[in-house]
Amino acid sequence: MKKLTFIIILLILTVFCGFYFVYQYSIGVADTKNYEDITFRVASGESVKQIAENLLEKDLIKSKFYFSLYVKSQDKENVLQAGEYILNSSMPIRKIVSILASGRALSRERDVKIIEGWRLTDVGEYLEKEGVSTKQKFLSLTKSAANWPFDFEKPKMLNAIPANADLEGFLFPDTYRIYKDDNEVVLIKKMINNFADKFTAKMAEDAARQGRDVFEVVTMASIIEKEVRGYEDMRIVSGLFWNRVKNGRGLESCATLAYISGVDKPVYSLEDTKIKSDYNTYQNLGLPPGPICNPGLNALNAAIYPVDTDYNYFLSRSDNGETVFSKSYQEHLRNKAKYLR
């Protein structure tokens, strides 16, 4: 009799432990094979049972039972809020419930669009205009790569930034969705992490094989971004500029003059080229001390994968922005007279 009782208790414990394991697995483990974002709507007054059915129908959960059980166990039956949410099919039940209970629906989100080629000052002014931050606060947070003022982990590739440099060049231009009550730190984190995702390990390895680190590549990419449009033109200009660096010449980039003066001109004067600044690539050899803007993916790729040509000079037409290349200085002067008015 004692043996039978022991066996029954053991079976009960085994079933209970099995159920508990499956329950914990169901609410806490994500499906890592599927990452599709889905817009999910919770209607006003909708029951937990109906929400569970809708989630199952959209393949966002595997079990209505475990979803309902978890909601009840967390005492969240009356806190799942109506609205539209972005859910990911890889999210575990625990995270889905947390999102639905937070009330952070799409109606409470907003788009923030950071343009390729914007400087930190441009981003700061835009965020102030949009009510996300003040320009002063944004610039104070991004002024130093060495003194990390954030509570999120610094991506390893940012260790290549010199101690005296700011985060110029490493805030990836893109359209970001943030909640209306989010501050500038949330956006900075998204931009930095986006850069770390876009600048892949292969890109870093390919750059290293050329003897260039991440900071040098981003610096070159930032100049390319401001100089020309179109990926193929960017690659040609990249080859031209890297050849100038290799041959110990100045880049003679008008984009760096615009960075110094804060003024974009179709043509810069001889006096402009004599401005005293470490960023003046007419007066200094090689790359400037750091990036002059935040480049996009095309410019970053162009800086790593240049095209070698016979061209030595280029300009952007003042009427349509088309890039015109030339092999000799005399040809370049003729193109300037023809296209820069």
Q: What is the pLDDT of residues 83-92, one digit of tens each?
A: 888 898 888 8
Residue 30 tokens read as 């994500």
> Residue 250's beta-bridge partner residues?
286
CA distance 341 to 325: 17
CA distance 123 to 112: 10
pLDDT band at 9 (very low <50, low <70, confident <90, very high): low
Averaged pLDDT for residues 199-221: 96
pLDDT band at 17 (very low <50, low <70, confident <90, very high): very low
CA distance 171 to 296: 10
Whole-model pTM?
A: 0.73
pLDDT band at 186 (very low <50, low <70, confident <90, very high): very high
Residue 232: per-residue pLDDT: 96
Residue 152 tokens read as 């999120």
Which of helix, strand or coil describes residue 210?
coil
Domain architecture of the chain: domains with CATH? 27-104 (3.30.1490.480), 109-198 (no CATH), 201-309 (no CATH)
CA distance 271 to 81: 63
Which of helix, strand or coil describes residue 142?
helix
pLDDT tens for each residue of 310-329: 999 998 988 888 999 999 99
Q: Mean pLDDT of all residues in the chain?
A: 87
Report phi then psi at 139, rounded to 5: -65, -35
CB 90 within 8 Å of CB 35? yes
Alpha carbon distances (Å) from 78 to 49, 82, 127, 134: 12, 11, 36, 38
Residue 4: per-residue pLDDT: 53
Residue 164: per-residue pLDDT: 87
Residue 188 tokens read as 């900075």
Residue 35 pLDDT greater than 90, yes or no: no
The closest alpha carbon to 278, from 292, 296, 264, 295, belongs to 292
Residue 279: per-residue pLDDT: 97
Q: How many helices (H) and strands (E) does the chain have?
A: 13, 6
Which residue stretches of 38-113 are H helix?
48-57, 64-73, 93-102
Angle between helices 2-28 and 64-73 (to 10 degrees): 90
pLDDT band at 195 (very low <50, low <70, confident <90, very high): very high
Report phi then psi at 35, rounded to 5: -130, 30
CB 256 within 8 Å of CB 287? no
Determine how many CB atoms are found less than 10 A away from the CB of residue 314: 18
> Residue 326's beta-bridge partner residues?
313
Please give the share of the chain, as a percent, with pLDDT higher than 70.
Answer: 90
pLDDT tens for each residue of 119-141: 999 999 999 999 999 999 999 99
Residue 34 pLDDT greater than 70, yes or no: no
Residue 250 pLDDT greater than 50, yes or no: yes
CB 311 within 8 Å of CB 327? yes
Report phi then psi at 85, rounded to 5: -130, 150
Residue 311 tokens read as 């061209």
Angle between helices 201-209 and 214-227 (to 10 degrees): 100
Averaged pLDDT for residues 43-48: 87
Residue 290 pLDDT greater than 90, yes or no: yes
